[in-house]
Structure 1
Amino acid sequence: MLVAFSSVDKIFYTFLAAIGIPVDLLAILILSRGKCGLSSCTTRYLLAMALSDLFVIITEVILMQINHYYFPICFLDITPICSVNAVLRGAAIDCSVWFTITFSFDRFVAICCQKLNAKYCTVKTAAVVLATFCIFLCFANIPIYFTYEPESITDNVSWFCHTKPDFYSETGWVRYNWFDRFLTPLLPFALIVLINALTVRHILVASRVRKGLKGIDPNDYTEAEYIFQQVGIMLRNLSCCTNTFIYAATQSKFRGKIKATLSFLVP
């Protein structure tokens, strides 16, 4: 059962990298030109999301998942290197998730808080918010580097990243692990549900008002647990790698730019 799932896992990540990289690069190209019918503030958020999504593909999908299947042992498995990649991978995923939150909150303010809209939904505010979250999330993931120890040492070279036993028992590490889980995905999940629910509620209330005005009526896992965990990771990575393109593709002018770019690249 696990062998069959590993084959599915391998195909999934290969396909995700093959699709995700050109899709995110295309989104970055179009958004950076700033001529896709979006406000400068919205464009700034989507561009940051696209860059973080691309970084997730590089660190998580290619350097982690695909490397595991196609190159079981390579220089990326040297302990210091895989420890650094773990930090970069965690920071990329966190940025992808939280940039989506900041974008959703910006849209919530634009739609539901007209008095705050003019002050908050600006390019300057977007730059400050994105930079603040990026710096904080990068620093928040640095401790991950120190959670690993070599699995083996060959010719004075440390290989692979094995989680230190103290990580599961020492009070400081246990608290950090809970903080990391709270930071992503528990708090973001709660926030995205809350923000979207409030936004939808505002839209529905405004719609009912308009209709009223018109006179209209209103670690040790079983196989099943392991597969469940891996499916969850796959879905998370799929979301992180493609969410920017999905958001932007809802805009007609953005879709028009995609068609124009593709027609130029493919005569």
Structure 2
Amino acid sequence: MAIAFADFLVIFTGCILNRIGRIYLRYTILSAFPVCAFSAVLVYISRDGSVWLTVAFTIDRFVAIACPSLSTRYCTEKTALLVIGVICSLFCSKNIPLYFVTQPLVILEGMPWFCGIKPMFYTSPAWQAYHYLDRVLTPLLPFFLILLLNALTVRHILVVNAARRRLRGSLNGEDHEMAKRKRSMVLLYAISISFLLLWGTYVGRFLYIQITGKDYFGGLDFNNPQYILSEMTNMLQLLSSCNNVFIYAISQNKFREEMKKVLMCPLLLITSCFKCRKTQQKITT
């Protein structure tokens, strides 16, 4: 549920506030300097939270499947809440400094509009170290961790399934345990491939900029190939968060049950209010 909430925040802050608001709702409150700077920080916080909660989910699945002795102590609700709290606190603290490196692009009638990066961000060694650390934490390190852990998990599943087939021998009938492991493999493959494909363009563009030193610093130029590439990488990056929710909803029964509870909660609240109101009316009459 934390992953779903983080992905929803990515969609809301990254798509609605930042992209749609910046392009189609110019010179509104969303474009005022303090608001756009704060919304940019929210985009980075929700993005990092979504990515690293996916990593935490991958670690959880690896421990549950490949480390049964550790899973009884690690795969608990208390540990999950602790991991979620640490990830949210860590990346909130990490991205708050970005607010102080932004500046207004223009001043119109004494009012600051739009957000830009201060020149010291590109010259200060401390800010450049921060920039590279940000790229390593999201998405380079998650790339490596998700690939490594999913490869180890799938390898463990294949080894256990082979041993189970040898033990069962010629016994007929459906093996529910092997079917469960196969569903786990499908989920892990779906998460890995989705994450790699949708973040691959972002990583490739980052490496291209580091090698060539060429980046796009212009405004909204929909005919510029560099601007189109930049926006495409951002679109695929945001789509990764949208995609995760559908993957979990399709593959996880418990996730679907919890999502139904969340979606039904407003309806149940409204119906309970109507019932209370009818009860009060009967008592007064």
Normalised TM-score (structure 2):
0.69
Please state how far the C-alpha of 1:53 moved relative to its aligned partner.
Answer: 1.0
Are the equivalent residues in 2 in contact too, given 1:151–1:162 (CA < 8 A)? yes
Deviations 1:197-252 (A, max 9, x none): 11111111111212233458xx3389444433322221110111231332132135
Evaluate the alpha carbon distance shift between residue 75 and residue 259 of structure 1 in structure 2; reply closer, same or farther with a 3 A threshold. Answer: closer
Evaluate the alpha carbon distance shift between residue 176 and residue 212 of structure 1 in structure 2; reply closer, same or farther with a 3 A threshold. Answer: same
2:245 aligned partner: 244
Evaluate the alpha carbon distance shift between residue 141 and residue 257 of structure 1 in structure 2; reply closer, same or farther with a 3 A threshold. Answer: closer
1:227 aligned partner: 228
Q: CA RMSD in A?
A: 2.4
Evaluate the alpha carbon distance shift between residue 51 and residue 257 of structure 1 in structure 2; reply closer, same or farther with a 3 A threshold. Answer: closer
Which secondary structure does the structure 2 equivalent of 1:107 belong to?
helix
CA distance in 2, matches of 1:160, 1:256: 42
Deviations 1:163-185 (A, max 9, x none): 11111111111001001111111
CA distance in 1, matches of 2:226, 2:163: 48
- Percentage identity across aligned positions? 46
Matched, 1:117 2:117: no
CA distance in 1, matches of 2:155, 2:12: 37
In the TM superposition, what are the counterparts of 1:44-55 in structure 2 within 5 Å? Answer: 47-55=1-9
Structure 2: gaps (5+ residues)? 171-214, 218-222, 268-285
Are the equivalent residues in 2 in contact too, given 1:91–1:137 (CA < 8 A)? yes
2:183 aligned partner: none
1:210 to 135, 145, 164: 164
Please state how far the C-alpha of 1:258 moved relative to its aligned partner.
Answer: 7.5
Matched, 1:84 2:60: no
The amino acid that maps onto 1:211 is: R
In the TM superposition, what are the counterparts of 1:19-30 in structure 2 within 5 Å? Answer: none
1:156 aligned partner: 110
Normalised TM-score (structure 1):
0.74
Matched, 1:201 2:155: yes
1:17 aligned partner: none
Are the equivalent residues in 1 in contact too, given 2:10–2:241 (CA < 8 A)? yes
| Count of residues in correspondence between the two structures | 215
CA distance in 2, matches of 1:68, 1:152: 15
In the TM superposition, what are the counterparts of 1:55-66 in structure 2 within 5 Å? Answer: 55-66=9-20
Structure 1: gaps (5+ residues)? 1-46
Evaluate the alpha carbon distance shift between residue 207 and residue 229 of structure 1 in structure 2; reply closer, same or farther with a 3 A threshold. Answer: farther
Which secondary structure does the structure 1 equivalent of 2:55 belong to?
helix
Evaluate the alpha carbon distance shift between residue 129 and residue 257 of structure 1 in structure 2; reply closer, same or farther with a 3 A threshold. Answer: closer
Matched, 1:130 2:84: yes
Please state how far the C-alpha of 1:59 moved relative to its aligned partner.
Answer: 0.8
Greater Rg over alpha carbons, structure: 2
Are the equivalent residues in 2 in contact too, given 1:50–1:245 (CA < 8 A)? no
Which structure's relative contact order is higher, taking Cα pairs within 8 Å and 6+ residues apart? 1
